[in-house]
Amino acid sequence: MIKCKITVLCRAEHKELMEKYENPQTLPCEMRIGDVFYSRGEKPDGLCATAWQAIYPFVFALINGAGNFYDGWLKDPRSAIVSCNDGLRPVSYLVEAYDE
């Protein structure tokens, strides 16, 4: 069975946008560089729902044997780099398929 490993690669914070548009947040993002999650198609515990919405199509494709996204933009055709849809503090994830 194919499983996906999801690794947090980097985070950005657009402070000028946050100051201008955001209401104060107590827990805006809990992802940390190096955090790792695993999935066979289900949202992993601890991964935020917004990130999962962006990542899920790639996880689903990879666990069903697809790959080589966007004409081979990554060296490993069984992987994808996906960012969450948070325009104020986007997080980038590496999604990799592997056989259990």
Residue-wise pLDDT for 6-64, tens only, equals: 999 999 989 999 899 998 876 778 899 999 999 999 999 999 899 999 999 999 999 99
* pLDDT(100) > 90: no
Sheet strand arrangement including 2-11: 36-39, 2-11, 91-99, 79-83
Tokens 């199509």 found at:
57
Query: Model pTM?
Result: 0.91
How many percent of the chain have pLDDT more than 70?
Answer: 99
